[in-house]
Amino acid sequence: MATRSQTAAVLLAGALALAACGSGGSKTPAAGGAAGKTLVIDTSFDLKTGDPGRTYEPTGLIIGKAAYETLLTFDGADVTKPVPALAESYELSQDGKTLTLKLKQGAVFADGSPVTADDVVFSLTRVRDMKGTPSFLLDGVEVAKDGDSTIKLTSKAANPALPFILPNPALGIINSKVAQQHGATTDAKDKAEQYLNSASLGSGPYAIESFNVSSQVVLKANPKYYGTKPAYDKVVIRNVEAATQKLNVQRGDSQVALNLSGDQVTGMPNTLQVKKTASANVIFLLANQDSAISKTTTNAKFVEAVRKGVDYAGLLELAGEGSTQAPGVIPSQLLGALPADQAAKRDVEGAKAALAASGLSNPSVKLEYPSELTVNGLSFQPLAERIQANLKEVGITVELAPAPVATALDNYRNGKEEMGLWYWGPDYPDPSDYLAFLPGKTVGLRAGWKPGAAKEIEAAGDKAAVTIGDDARKTVYRDVQTKLNAGGPFVPLIQPSQNIVTAATVTGLEYHPVWTVDVADLGVK
């Protein structure tokens, strides 16, 4: 008996030792070393597809940006000026209706075949007409080639946002011949998605080696890439919870952690680099303007009391270092953002006065928000609790009504929330995306704000939509937001910090509002 026990003990010890020696000591996968040059990025996956034409989730955009090239792009984190990518130059007509792009010569796909004007026309038409999630980006835009190296994009109305839309990785150019052999079409019958989940038909610096929407995506350097070769031969993007991301990057098991909260990056060792940048996500409150939903939130003085009653500094403290207050709905990185000094300030006495002027006595409202959703690692729950406490000081009772995001979205989308706590991230980094907050538009309707409800603001919005020229656009969009802050149902709160932690060996990291990180820009120290 004793001999058998000893044998079992030896076997167990052997198995543990094998585990410890075999992998416990597994070293960093050559972040800075020459061997293999593998980069491991940990992120909480929000990924549905590898088909650029259907991509609209943050993780998908990281992959799309690496594997596919667009006509235009942005230089680093600067989203105020589109720069050439597959197009070497572009020009917007005086009336803003026609965008003419001249294609760069020498660009090739991963199989070595040249990128042609036909590929561009097919790719963009496919995105627009197969009615996937990003189809709206090209709504009403006609795509045509003019010769072999010129593309004309024509809109019925002035579309000054188009150069800012084109860098979206969803508008990546695919090899149309190969795609069509695998079921790609320019209508709703398109069947190429499965193929595009396992193959790269782009001309980007990386190609997809393996793709799994729930666990891991592996990118390998595209040997046919005609531009500057990326620093890493292989990039492994793993689906990892934030708490585990922190330990992995500290231990050296990964080199980049994308989803850490302000609390989690506090006290990081000096051997790691921490980048804290205000994200382009704006968290805001909405007060429903539909009297069938609420008699309280439709009162303009009530909204004023809320705006003056919120402790913005307290919310920033919750969100952590790197976060900023949002002066308007347009985030600080974009053209037309309001300057920081125009941000609302807490004024408890002013809020009480506004509440008294509203005629409402001890009002009580229900605040709905997605309970388990986090934005840049920040949960909505503590924000809602802080707002509840702030407004209680003013005399407003807030009943918290958290719900799972899929459930909460239903009420939000249908404009049934009395008050809501949500966020808006840019679909494309252009202020025109924020016209959605006006009466009768996507977000406006969610706040029960019907067309014609605020004619002055709507007129300002209509003017902004067709204004051409950066300076003029900046002025009109600021005007829209000033009016929106004064008489609209929204209270912009904060832009939480996007915290990215990298190993000391990783260089060139910039947070980007659209694709978070351009892996091809990352270098080795």
Binding residues (CB under 8 A) for another protein: these are: 1, 15-16, 18-26, 29-30, 36, 38, 40, 42, 45, 48-49, 54, 56, 131-136, 139, 188, 193-194, 197, 212-216, 234, 236, 238-241, 243-244, 247-248, 250-251, 253-254, 372, 403-407, 409-410, 413, 424, 427, 436, 442
| d(C-alpha 307, C-alpha 142), whole Å | 43
| d(C-alpha 178, C-alpha 184), whole Å | 9
- H helices of 149-241, in order, are 162-165, 176-181, 193-196
Q: Which is nearer to another protein, 259 or 298 (CB)?
A: 259
Q: Which is nearer to another protein, 357 or 436 (CB)?
A: 436
Question: At closest approach, how far in Å is the CB of 32 from another protein?
Answer: 13
| Cβ neighbours of 166 (radius 10 Å) | 25
Question: At closest approach, how far in Å is the CB of 194 from another protein?
Answer: 7
Q: Which two tokens stand for residue 368?
A: 């709905």
List Cα–Cα distances, 322 to 13, 259, 262, 318, in angstroms: 48, 14, 8, 11
Question: At closest approach, how far in Å is the CB of 484 from another protein?
Answer: 18
Question: At closest approach, how far in Å is the CB of 138 from another protein?
Answer: 12
Q: Which is nearer to another protein, 6 or 194 (CB)?
A: 194
Question: At closest approach, how far in Å is the CB of 117 from another protein?
Answer: 27
Residue 168, classed as helix, strand or coil, is coil
Host H or E run for residue 272: strand 272-278
Q: Which is nearer to another protein, 168 or 495 (CB)?
A: 168
Residue 85's closest CA among 228, 236, 282? 228
Question: At closest approach, how far in Å is the CB of 244 from another protein?
Answer: 6
Q: Which is nearer to another protein, 135 or 467 (CB)?
A: 135
Question: At closest approach, how far in Å is the CB of 58 from another protein?
Answer: 11
Q: Which is nearer to another protein, 26 or 270 (CB)?
A: 26
Question: At closest approach, how far in Å is the CB of 121 from another protein?
Answer: 22
Question: At closest approach, how far in Å is the CB of 260 from another protein?
Answer: 15
Q: Which is nearer to another protein, 30 or 326 (CB)?
A: 30
Q: Which is nearer to another protein, 48 or 386 (CB)?
A: 48
Q: Which is nearer to another protein, 186 or 248 (CB)?
A: 248
Distance of CA 397 to the CA centre of its chain: 33
Residue 207's closest CA among 126, 104, 122, 108? 108
Of how many residues is the chain composed?
Answer: 525
Tell me the residue type at 61: L
**8 A C-beta contact, residue 72 and residue 85:** yes
What is the torsion angle, in degrees rounded to the nearest 10, for the CA atoms of residue 127, residue 128, residue 134 and residue 136? 170
Q: Is 183 left (phi over 0), alpha (psi -120 to 50) or beta?
A: left
| d(C-alpha 523, C-alpha 521), whole Å | 6
What is the torsion angle, in degrees rounded to the nearest 10, for the CA atoms of residue 423, residue 426, residue 427 and residue 431? 130
